[in-house]
Structures are given as C-alpha cells and as structure tokens.
Structure 1
Amino acid sequence: MMRVLVFEYITGGGCNQAALPSSLAREGCLMLQALLADFSALPAIELTVMLDSRLLAEVDTRAVQHLAIISPEQDTEAEFARLLAAADAVWPIAPESDGVLLRLCLAVQAQGKRLLTSPAAAVAVTGDKYQAYRRLQQHGIATVATQLADQAMFAPGEWLIKPIDGAGCGGTYILPTQAALAKHIIRSPRFIIQPHLHGEKTSLSCLFRHGESWLLSVNLQGFTVCDHQYVLQDIIVNDRPVTSAYQQVAAQVAKACPELWGYVGIDLIETPETIWVLEINPRLTSSFAALRSALGINVAELVLQLLHGSPAITVSTDQAITLTLHS
C-alpha cells in the first residue's frame, strides 16, 4: 500500500485566509478531480487530500481515504507538514509564483519522501522564466528572447512584461506602444520583458524522466485580451496529431532540462517559420484534466511507472476535448 498525499494549492487551503480566486479555483478543481479519478482506478493506493472548506461541494472525494478539511483559521503549510510525515509519496500542484511550488518540493525532499513531480532542482530552473530562457538558449532551442526588466533595452514594437516566476497569465501585460512602455515599465529584476510574438498558442502535455520524454498530447489554447492582459478562455486538449516536430521540441527540452520528471507542460507560440518555446511548467497543467477523456490514459498510473522505468502508454481513444476555463 502506497500512502499518497495530494495537495493542490489553490483548492487545498493555500488561499484559506483570503478570497478564493475564481478562475484559479476552477482550474484547480478540474486538475484535482482528474487526479483523484486516476488514483481511484489504481490498486494499493491510500489517498490523503487537503481541501479548502469552501470547496466541499465542488470536489467528489469519495475515492479519498483521508480528507483534511482546511478552515480559515488553520496554518495550511503547517498542516501540509503534519500530513507529509505520514505519507510515502506526495503530489503537490502549486504555482511557481512566490516560490510556493519550490518550497513544497523542498519540504518533501527534506523529509525523504517520494515526490511524484519534478524535484526542486527542476522547479528552480524552469520556474524562473529568465533562467529557463538561458537554459533553452544554451541548448539551441528556439525560445522567446527574454530580458530582465531592470536591464532591458527596447526596440520599437509591442512588448510583454511579466513576473519572473508568474504562473499562467497573472501579472502579464501587453505594452503596445513606446509610450505605454515608458509609462508602465517596472524596472525590477523580479520582472522580465519579452517581445510580443503573434502566433498560434499551443501547449504540450508530456512525461519526462531524466532526459527522456514522452509526448502525450498537443493542445490549442484560446485566449482573449482584456485591459492589455491575456485571459485563457479554453483549451482544446488533443487538438492535433503528435507529429515529429512536436516530439522534437519535447525531446530537446528533456535534454536541456534533465532534472524534469513526471508530468510537464510546455507552452509554445507557433509562427509560420518556427515553433517557439515560451514556458516550461514543472507540474500538472489544466490540460491534464482532459487527458483521460481525450486519450483514455491514466496519467497517475504512468507517473508511478516512471519510478521503475519507461511508462507503458496505451491510447484507447483519440478525440479532442474542450475545457472551458473562463466564461
């Protein structure tokens, strides 16, 4: 019997002393529910799950043996540490921002418990957008030019400013003119600047293991722009075939970042000439929530197989599934 602690940060009490961000809570519930469904289909798994008391009606926890309900007065990270002591393995799902995911991974590793995600060393590199850019550039991978905001030099054109460790679109702004650039630029090393590339926004859902990669699906991301910010509206999971071009991108990232392990998402921008790597997410992404429906695979089972070798991926269906994330 493997005792697994699942902690999805947004739904698991990470915001228990503040208002729940509705869009992030929706994405968190989708990922958590999908992970619980995967684990419920596996033998010899004893699940402990942390859940914000405000979301009891939103998540089906019938597959959970031990439900830790987090109330507003509790210290969520102290509760995580307490539950960690009784676990064999831990699957944290958390944003990279403010070092949250890194801190959780370090806590798990410090207790000698099995992480079912990428280790802290991978989060430290890929969770920092400037370090990730430098790593990709060093390995000759097409990636969007990135500068630290306090050192940036600008040419004419549109630019994006975003937190160096941001998750999703949070804190990212489009600066369409030089006047907007001069007015809104934040000269801080905690922010980065990138040219605003226009192209198709896709993502890859992958498994990684010490330099090896297995590409599961190619997904299409649908965005709108509101008040100079991108808003992720929906994702079409398994939107198109897994071609050699996409497999090559996954393989290149695996070689460049051999620290990555388990499920990893890669955000891309596709222009007629190039597939550009925009970000690497060392954690579950929203696309994961539809992989079981799209491909008939159990990602939790495949990740457990990575503990002992290569995953046995058998696709039993092949359909595109649309996830609506923002109404």
Structure 2
Amino acid sequence: MKILVFEYITGGGFNKQTLSDSLAEEGRLMRSALLDNLTQLNQTRSNRLEITVMMDWRLNDSASMTGINTVIIRSENDITEEFARLVKQCDLVWPIAPEFDGILQNLCQTVESLGKILLTSPATAVAIAGNKLKTYERLNRHHIAAVPTRIFENIYSPGEWMVKPVDGVGCADSYVLTTGQDFERMATQKGQYVMQPHLQGAKTSLSCLFKQGSGWLVCANLQRFEFIQQQYHLTDIVVNHHPDFGRYQPLIDKIARALPELWGYVGIDLIESDHDCMAATAPVSLAAFPPSMEVKSGGTTPWTGEVESRLEQRSRATQGAIADDCMDAGGRAMQGAIAETWVLEINPRLTTSFVGIYDALGINIAEAVLQLVHGEPILNPAYNTPITVQAQQETHAS
C-alpha cells in the first residue's frame, strides 16, 4: 500500500512566503518522528508500505531519507493541486497541519472527497475541534468541564482574561489581558478572537487515540511555560510525565462520547488546579481558585454565573469520589492534593508530544493508528520513562 505524509510547514504549505525557522523545526520534528515510525513498521511487515513525503525545496534533506519517496514542492507549484495529485496516487494519507484558516479541515476534505483512507480525524471533527468556541459548546452540552469561552468583545471586565484566535495554534497570538487599555489594544487586531478566564494550574496534555466514540490514553504529558510580556511561551514538554492512567481515562471516555467524530491521534490540553484533600468535600467555589480567575458576583462579566455554576456542578458530581480519594486503606482521612480538571482545547492531529512517545514508551503510534483502520489499537509499552522534548519559542502545537 502507498502512504502519503504531508507535514504542512516542511512540505511546501508556505512555499510562496517566508518560512519561519521555529515553525520549520517543529514541523520537521513531527515529520521525522512519523517517518521513523513508518520505517520501523516496515521492518516488521511482510506487506511493506511505500512511503511518499512532500518537502519544501528550501528544506530538502531527502538524501537522509533512505527508502522514502520525496516530492519537492517549489515556489511555482500550487500546493493544493500538488497535494490532490499525490493523494490520487496513494491509498493512505496522513496530513499534519495547523487548524487556522481551515488548512487542516480542507486537507482532510480533499482526502475524503477522493475516496482515500484518511489517517486522522475527518473534516467534520476538525470543524469542531479546530474551533475553540465550538469545542467549548460541544463539551459544555455534554457536561464536561471546559474553560468557559466566548467571542471577544471590547467590553472590559475586572480580572485576568486569556484572549486567543478562535482557530489558533499555540501561543503566538494569545494574550493575557488585565486592563481596559489591554482590551482596547486587542480590539484593533484583525481576525476573530475568543476570551476565557485566565485559569492557573498545571498544564497537562494527553496523547490519545480515538475511534467512533471510544478513546485510549497513550500517555499524559506536562507542558512547561515561561510567561513574558502578557504571553505564554512553551519551553518544553515532559512526555509521559504522569503514570496514573486511571486519573484521565474517565475524561477521555466522556470526550469520546461527546465527539464521536474524533479518529486517530488526538491531543487534549488540560488545566489542573490542585486542592487540599481535607477541604475537598466542601462545595467548590471561585474562592478555591487563584485570584486570576476570580470574578465578583454581580459584575458585568457575561459568564460569571456560568463559571460559578460549573464549579458547583463539578463539586456535587465528584464529591463522593473526592472523599474516597482522600481516605487511606483504613478509611482514615489523609492530607493530599486532588485536581480540578478543565479541558482547554482539543487538537485533532499529531502534536509536539508525539515526538517523544516512542522513546518514552516504545509505542509505535503509526502502527496503532493503522490498527484503528480495521479494529482497536494494541498499546503495550515496552518501557515506561519520561522524555523531555524541547519546544520552539515562537509557537507550539502541544
């Protein structure tokens, strides 16, 4: 069978414009990791895959790709036409692309319309997960705790607010606003932005597989950031940081049911706020969270009541489980921390965390995704260790 790999940044998606070094390096890491997975898979398969990869002429390192067909994309080429031409020649297609401007959605739609096997979530899933407002609305409708999200308006409310493009990737165009002047400056930006309360807590990303309403956790990863001039900058990701799979699988199951369109590898970004076990059985309120997300009742913030309501609902829904978690084997109360988990966003594509999965667990994600085509994935870690992946500073796709 023939498989086409198209990583948008390194594969010619920016063939008619200047190429950012950091974007190119991040794309190269994901492309190389996927090609390594596929090459390793070929070593154990009797029915070998014929691999083709698209490559920007400025990043031509085809000499190092033994056994892989490379197609060079030059500035005069129409990337949409070239992609469609190559899709027609292959059986399987694995695009890696950003969601902004409908890029990933359109690539997926092209593959589907040509009747080829798409090894990522379909265009219908990208249309939801690639839009932060639609993602929030879908999760909220299914009673999954997600960071409250609405379209940005130049109406200042006291507190700290995260503002980001509705279909953005990473942190490059995301800002924390705290003053009326911040709101006024933000209002001059072009494009559609959403705003969210700025929640504090551990930034966790989950590497998962999905298929038709079922979900499997591959590993949980810790994202580490610097905060400079009102912006977060990802410094690194500790892949396979959290070994406790039982902590996240119920959430993944809920997301799978809420978004049955998801398929293949998906990254889920979370914010986890820790609370002391001794206070855990009390109703959760805004006061239990850092000041950056507190909003006074009766203020002008459109979702003040919504945030409070969501916290109260989560408290009632999890109160029994929290109490159990705070008991030792003898049923005695113990001190400790539990996490209030909020879904920040869902990435229906390979993410930077994917780069470290094979070294952390020995799991070949390409093999697992191909298994999804006809059944369920077999996820048997060969080893279990955390691996740190350094991030590029201009942006990230966690």
Structure 1 residue aligned with 2:310: none
Structure 1 residue aligned with 2:9: 10
Residue 62 (1) aligns with residue 62 (2): no
Structure 2 residue aligned with 1:48: 52
Structure 2 residue aligned with 1:86: 89
In structure 2, the CA distance between the partners of 1:3 and 1:108, relative to structure 1 (3 Å rule), is: same
Task: Name the SS for the 1:12 alignment partner.
Answer: coil
Instruction: Compare CA radii of gyration and give the structure with the larger one.
Output: 2
- Kept after mapping to 2: 8 A contact 1:157/1:178: no
TM-score, normalised to structure 2's length? 0.78
Structure 2 residue aligned with 1:306: 372
Identify the range of structure 1 (175-184 vs 272-281) with the bigger mean alpha-carbon deviation: 175-184
In structure 2, the CA distance between the partners of 1:224 and 1:58, relative to structure 1 (3 Å rule), is: farther
Structure 1 residue aligned with 2:158: 156
Structure 2: distance between partners of 1:59 and 1:130: 43
Structure 1 residue identity aligned to 2:345: E
Residue 143 (1) aligns with residue 146 (2): yes
Structure 2 residue identity aligned to 1:28: G
- Kept after mapping to 1: 8 A contact 2:203/2:222: yes
Structure 2: distance between partners of 1:300 and 1:212: 18
Gaps of 5+ in 2: 275-338, 394-398
Structure 2 residue aligned with 1:20: 19
Structure 2 residue aligned with 1:296: 362
Structure 2 residue identity aligned to 1:81: A
Structure 2 residue identity aligned to 1:54: R
Q: What is the CA distance between 1:282 and its match in structure 2?
A: 0.3
Residue 167 (1) aligns with residue 169 (2): yes
Structure 1: distance between partners of 2:70 and 2:223: 33
In structure 2, the CA distance between the partners of 1:195 and 1:188, relative to structure 1 (3 Å rule), is: farther
Structure 2: distance between partners of 1:305 and 1:48: 20
In structure 2, the CA distance between the partners of 1:189 and 1:73, relative to structure 1 (3 Å rule), is: closer
Residue 98 (1) aligns with residue 101 (2): yes
Q: Within 5 Å, which residues of 2 pair with 1:222-241?
A: 222-241=224-243
Identify the range of structure 1 (48-57 vs 275-284) with the bigger mean alpha-carbon deviation: 48-57
Structure 2: distance between partners of 1:75 and 1:100: 14
Q: Which runs of 4+ in 1 moved over 6 A?
A: none
In structure 2, the CA distance between the partners of 1:188 and 1:324, relative to structure 1 (3 Å rule), is: closer
Q: What is the CA distance between 1:153 and its match in structure 2?
A: 5.7
Residue 31 (1) aligns with residue 97 (2): no
- Percent of counterpart pairs with the same letter? 50
Q: What is the CA distance between 1:112 and its match in structure 2?
A: 0.6
Structure 1: distance between partners of 2:58 and 2:23: 14
Gaps of 5+ in 1: none
Structure 2 residue identity aligned to 1:143: A
Q: What is the CA distance between 1:265 and its match in structure 2?
A: 0.2
- Kept after mapping to 1: 8 A contact 2:208/2:216: yes
Structure 1: distance between partners of 2:243 and 2:234: 22
Q: Within 5 Å, which residues of 2 pair with 1:222-261?
A: 222-261=224-263
Structure 1 residue aligned with 2:283: none
Q: What is the CA distance between 1:23 and its match in structure 2?
A: 1.9
Residue 220 (1) aligns with residue 222 (2): yes
- Kept after mapping to 2: 8 A contact 1:31/1:289: yes
Structure 2: distance between partners of 1:53 and 1:125: 33
Structure 1 residue identity aligned to 2:377: P
TM-score, normalised to structure 1's length? 0.95
Structure 2 residue identity aligned to 1:309: G
In structure 2, the CA distance between the partners of 1:187 and 1:22, relative to structure 1 (3 Å rule), is: closer
CA deviations over 1:104-154 (Å, ceiling 9, x no partner): 00000110111000000100111011000000001111110101124x765
Q: What is the CA distance between 1:183 and its match in structure 2?
A: 3.3
Q: What is the CA distance between 1:27 and its match in structure 2?
A: 1.3
Identify the range of structure 1 (235-244 vs 108-117) with the bigger mean alpha-carbon deviation: 235-244
Structure 1: distance between partners of 2:63 and 2:149: 39
Identify the range of structure 1 (287-296 vs 22-31) with the bigger mean alpha-carbon deviation: 22-31
